[in-house]
Structure 1
Amino acid sequence: MTLKSLIVLVLAESLLSACSFMEPHAMDTDLAIQHEALAKHFEDEANELQTKIEEHKEYLSQFESQRYVYGRHANDLKAHSQEVIDLYQQAVTTNRDMAEMLREADH
């Protein structure tokens, strides 16, 4: 057995033995409160992302209305902004779905 393997085994054993001494009541907290806090976090994150979507939509409309300012890069900037909007929209949907799932788990 190499020294590295021995060290890993000793660390794993100490970790497992430490977990066995934990009281089961130490982790017994109100899950409804935790679920609601996590759901609120997901909702807040979705709202923040929605704000970013609106910001990028403004950029997109600016790229479309002022093509002469951006020249040949206008199409690239429009495509990039649209891609960012789509990604943020997916994240908003996912965050709201997670919040809904957590709220349903409470009931």
Structure 2
Amino acid sequence: MKTLKLSVGILTLIILSACAQMNASLIAPTGIANNDHEALAHYYETVAEEARSNLQKNKRILAAYEARPYYYGRRGLDLQSHTSANIRAHEKTLQESLRFAEFHKRMATKQRDDSINKAKARSGSKLALDDLE
């Protein structure tokens, strides 16, 4: 009986972990090509702005909870800890988004420079052939 309960519990845990939602900060955006670094940088900047606004909102809420804890009774501590966890999550999302945005900005700049250099090389080789004629 114990082994049956244990196996059902383990199976339930495996199924729940397989169906668990991924962290939103790690999910790649849909509808944007992998090599479109300017669009990806803009996407991550937008995510960072949303995280920043949510972070500020949660900080105001936490300040309200801490200013008057007697308004919230027993649930006040739960609300404070939940809001603190939200603040940590938004700070992490903000840092990751800014890091990804900076990375994609650098990649977009490099991609632009490479395409300019290729165009110059093509036009330079064409000019060199014209000079020979």
Same fold at TM > 0.5: yes
Residue in 2 that maps onto 1:43: 45
Distance between the aligned counterparts of 2:107 and 2:93, measured in 1?
Answer: 21
Select 1:101's aligned residue among 97, 100, 103.
Answer: 103
Distance apart, 1:72 and its partner CA? 1.6
Paired amino acid for 1:57: K
Unpaired segments of 5 or more residues in structure 1? Answer: 1-28
Deviations 1:55-76 (A, max 9, x none): 1011101111111110121111
- Paired-residue identity, %: 28
Distance between the aligned counterparts of 2:84 and 2:69, measured in 1?
Answer: 16
The normalised TM-score by structure 1 is 0.66
Residue in 2 that maps onto 1:77: 79
Deviations 1:23-74 (A, max 9, x none): xxxxxx9x5xx21111011001101110001110111011111111101211
Distance between the aligned counterparts of 2:97 and 2:70, measured in 1?
Answer: 38
Larger Rg: 2
Residue in 2 that maps onto 1:54: 56
Kindly indicate which of the two structures has a greater share of residues assigned to helix: 1
Distance between the aligned counterparts of 1:64 and 1:71, measured in 2?
Answer: 12
Residue in 2 that maps onto 1:11: none
Distance between the aligned counterparts of 1:41 and 1:94, measured in 2?
Answer: 12
Distance between the aligned counterparts of 2:105 and 2:60, measured in 1?
Answer: 33
Unpaired segments of 5 or more residues in structure 2? Answer: 1-32, 111-133
Which structure has more relative contact order (CA 8 Å, sep 6+)? It is 1
